[in-house]
Amino acid sequence: MFIQQLYTICLSEAAYYIESEGEVAIIDPLRDTDVYIKMAKERNASVKYIFETHFHADFVSGHLDLSKQTGAPIIYGPGAKTNFPIHQAKDGEIFKLGKLTIEVIHTPGHTLESSCYLLKDEEGNPYAIFTGDTLFVGDVGRPDLSSGNMSSEELAGIMYETIQHKILPLADHIIVYPAHGPGSSCGKNLGQNTYSTIGDEKRMNYALQASSKEDFIASVTHGLNAAPVYFAINARINQQGYETLNEVKLKGMQALSIEAFKKASEGKIILDTRTAAAFTEGFVPGSIFIGLEGRFAEWAGTLLDFNTPILLVTAPGKEEESVIRLSRVGFDKMEGYLEGGFEAWKNAGEKIDMIVDVEADELLMDMPHDPNLVVVDVRKETEFGDGHLKDAVNLPLDEMTDNALLAQFEDNQNLYVHCAGGYRSVIAASLLKRQGIHNLRNVLGGWGKIKQQEGVEIIKEASVLN
pTM of the model: 0.93
Q: Does residue 86 register a pLDDT over 80?
A: yes
**Average pLDDT in the 169-198 region?**
93
Residue type, 354: M
If asked whether residues 255 and 153 sit together in one domain, one would say: no
Q: What is the pLDDT of residue 406?
A: 75
Count of CB atoms within 10 A of residue 372's CB?
Answer: 11
Report the alpha-carbon distance of residue 351 to residue 284 in Å, rounded.
7
Boundary (domain end) residue, out of 347, 370, 398: 347
Please list the residues that pair with 175 across neighbouring strands: 128, 197
Amino acid identity of 59?
Answer: F
Are residue 341 and residue 209 in the same domain, yes or no? Answer: no
Burial code of 220-251, b = ≥16 C-beta within 10 A, e = fewer?
Answer: bbeeeeebbebbebbbebbbeebeebeebbee
Q: Is residue 238 part of a domain?
A: no
Longest dimension (CA), the chain: 75
In this structure, the answer to whether residues 287 and 338 fall within a common structural domain is yes
> Is 427 within 8 Å of 299 (Cβ atoms)?
yes
User: Which one-letter amino acid corresponds to residue 36?
Assistant: Y
pLDDT of 116 strictly over 60: yes
Q: Is the pLDDT of residue 465 over 60?
A: no
Ramachandran sector of residue 130 (left: φ over 0; alpha: ψ -120 to 50; beta: rest): beta
Q: Is residue 282 part of a domain?
A: yes
The reply to whether 237 falls in a domain is no
Instruction: Indicate whether 146 pLDDT > 90.
Output: no
Please check whether residue 200 lies inside any domain of the structure.
Answer: yes
Domain boundary among 232, 263, 280: 232
Query: Is 449 a member of any domain?
Result: yes
Residue 381: which pLDDT band, with cuts at 50, 70 and 90?
very high
Mention every residue, 6+ apart, whose C-beta is less than 8 A from residue 452: 360
Q: Does 30 share its domain with 141?
A: yes
Note whether 93 and 67 are within 8 A (CB).
Answer: no
- SS3 at position 109: coil
- Average pLDDT value for the chain: 95
The Cα-based distances of 220 to 141, 144, 206, 217, 306 in angstroms read 9, 10, 9, 6, 31
Shared domain check, 92 and 179: yes
Cross-strand pairs, 15: 6
Q: Are residues 228 and 248 in the same domain?
A: no
DSSP state of 251: H
Q: Residue 36 sits in a domain of what CATH number? A: 3.60.15.10
Whether residues 28 and 83 fall in one domain: yes
Higher pLDDT: 323 or 410? It is: 323
Asked whether residue 62 carries a pLDDT value surpassing 80, the answer given is yes
**Residues 275 and 401 both lie in one domain:** no
188 confidence band (pLDDT: 50, 70, 90): confident
pLDDT tens digits, residue range 311-359? 999 999 999 999 999 999 999 999 999 999 999 999 999 999 999 999 9
Nearest to 86 by CA among 134, 52, 131, 47: 52
Cβ neighbours of residue 107 under 8 Å, at least 6 residues apart?
A: 77, 114, 115, 116, 131, 132, 134, 135, 162, 166, 167
- Asked if residue 269 belongs to a domain, the reply is yes
Compute the distance between CA of residue 416 and CA of residue 118 in angstroms, rounded to an integer. Answer: 52
Q: Is residue 367 part of a domain?
A: yes
> Which tops the pLDDT comparison, 229 or 432?
432
Q: Are residues 201 and 275 in the same domain?
A: no
Pair (30, 81) in one structural domain: yes
Q: Report the range of poorest mean pLDDT among 34-48, 136-150, 248-262, 353-367.
A: 136-150
The domain that holds 300 is classified in CATH as 3.40.250.10
Give the total number of structural domains in the chain: 3
Q: Please indicate, yes or no, whether residues 23 and 142 belong to a single structural domain of this protein.
A: yes
Per-residue confidence (pLDDT) for residue 403, from 0 to 100: 76
Mean pLDDT across 148-177: 94
Is pLDDT above 60 for 407?
Answer: yes
∠ CA 442-446-450, rounded to 5°: 115
What is the domain extent for residue 420? Answer: 356-465
Hey, what's the torsion of the CAs at 368, 370, 374, 377, to 10 degrees?
-50
pLDDT at 225: 80
Per-residue pLDDT tens digits for 255-265: 999 999 999 99
Burial status of residue 264 (CB atoms within 10 A of its CB: 0-12, 13-18, 19 or more): middle
How far apart (Å, rounded) are the C-alpha atoms in residues 192 and 175?
16
* Helices and strands of the chain, counted as H and E runs: 18, 26
Reading phi first (left if > 0) and then psi (alpha if -120 to 50, else beta), residue 374 is in beta
| pLDDT at 348 (0 to 100) | 97
Q: What is the pLDDT of residue 313?
A: 98
198 and 247 share a domain?
no
Last residue of a domain, one of 316, 347, 378: 347
